[in-house]
Amino acid sequence: MARRTRRGALDRGRLPRHIGIIMDGNGRWATARGLERSRGHRAGSRAVRAVVRACRRLGVPVLTLFAFSTENWGRPRREVQALMELLSEFIAREWQEIMRREIRVVHLGDLRRVPGEVRRQLLSLERATRHHRRMTLALALSYGSREEMARACRRLAARAAAGRLRPAAIGIDEVSAALDTRGLPDPDLIIRTGGELRLSNFLLWQGAYAELFFSKRLWPDFTESDLRAAIADFQSRRRRFGLTDEQAEERERA
Ligand code: FPP
């Protein structure tokens, strides 16, 4: 059974070790207000700030945000540009707080297409925060899970071709270690806002056993209290990992 907690309170001993968020709904949020889509992204970046702070305060060890997908490169140039500017602003504006709160920042995805300035800023922030241990914030940027898996296959194949890896020795751990998320725990909880019910090429390998939480809330409206509701829902679920109920209960007690 899930441990009981005070109404509305979260069990700090059973927080997800890694939360992934698909931040959807910025465009609709803006359109509903007669604004340009980029204004929705700007409002979305305020929600990012609130959710990062909330995770840090709660003690969630890893938060991954799907900031820009490989497919998003196909959006109108103006929108792509606006998103890149927002990322750049976000890094500059949050730098001090990220340092003060000892958050480690890493990226997932292929940064080669990302404009040089944003890429340099992000890589500098990663370098500056690499020793931080209080929380990890992973920004999935120019990220697609299938592309990430293909990259991992190429890395493994290159090592095998060089005679440094036996093909028969390639198992789940080796694949995991070749992904952009190497060293991070798999997500326990994946949240998608905006009412759509799909994963859209986000952490497909890593999310094999993630609990999924879909919220109708558009991302700019997503607040700390929505995050807490998602975590409370996660804590109310029994995760069986393919075992029977009895076995899962035993595992929980252990
Ligand atoms: C999806 O909404 C959201 C994105 C493509 C980008 C997410 C980016 C941010 C929240 C802002 C910047 C990020 C950081 C980390 C500072 P959509 O445009 O697809 O919405 P729609 O489905 O309503 O059109």
- List the beta bridge partners of residue 19: 63, 189
Q: Whose CA is nearest to atom 12 of ligand 1?
A: 45
Pull the structure tokens for residue 97.
Answer: 């707080």
Pull the structure tokens for residue 164.
Answer: 């440094």
Q: Which pLDDT band holds residue 126 (cuts at 50, 70, 90)?
A: very high
Pull the structure tokens for residue 30.
Answer: 């803006």
C-alpha 7 – ligand 1 centre gap (Å): 32
Cα separation, 21 vs 126, whole angstroms: 20
Please write the tens of the pLDDT for every residue from 48-100.
999 999 999 999 999 999 999 999 999 999 999 999 999 999 999 999 999 99
Cα separation, 86 vs 65, whole angstroms: 14
- As a residue count, the chain comes to 254
C-alpha 41 – ligand 1 centre gap (Å): 5
Mutation to probe ligand 1, out of 21, 22, 23 (largest number of atoms < 8 A from CB): 23
pLDDT of residue 167: 97
The residues assigned a catalytic role are 24, 72
Ligand 1 within 6 A of CB of 28: yes
User: Do residues 191 and 20 lie in contact, with contact meaning Cβ atoms separated by under 8 Å?
Assistant: yes
Ligand 1 within 6 A of CB of 65: yes
Annotated domain spans of the chain: 14-144+187-236
C-alpha 246 – ligand 1 centre gap (Å): 41
Q: Which of 164, 186, 158, 154 is nearest to 173 (CA)?
A: 186
pTM: 0.94
Mutation to probe ligand 1, out of 26, 118, 219 (largest number of atoms < 8 A from CB): 26
Please write the tens of the pLDDT for every residue from 187-208.
999 999 999 999 999 999 999 9
Ligand 1 closest atom vs CA 45: 11
CATH 3.40.1180.10 fits 14-144+187-236, yes or no: yes
Give whole-number Cα distances, 43 to 27, 90, 103, in Å.
Answer: 10, 12, 23
Share of the chain above pLDDT 70, in %: 97
Pull the structure tokens for residue 100.
Answer: 């003060």
Ligand 1 within 6 A of CB of 27: yes
Assess whether pLDDT exceeds 70 at residue 23.
Answer: yes
User: Do residues 186 and 208 lie in contact, with contact meaning Cβ atoms separated by under 8 Å?
Assistant: yes
Please write the tens of the pLDDT for every residue from 134-192.
999 999 999 999 999 999 999 999 999 999 999 999 999 999 999 999 999 999 999 99
Query: Considering Cα of 59, then 62, then 68, then 71, what sign does the dihedral take?
Result: negative
C-alpha 143 – ligand 1 centre gap (Å): 13
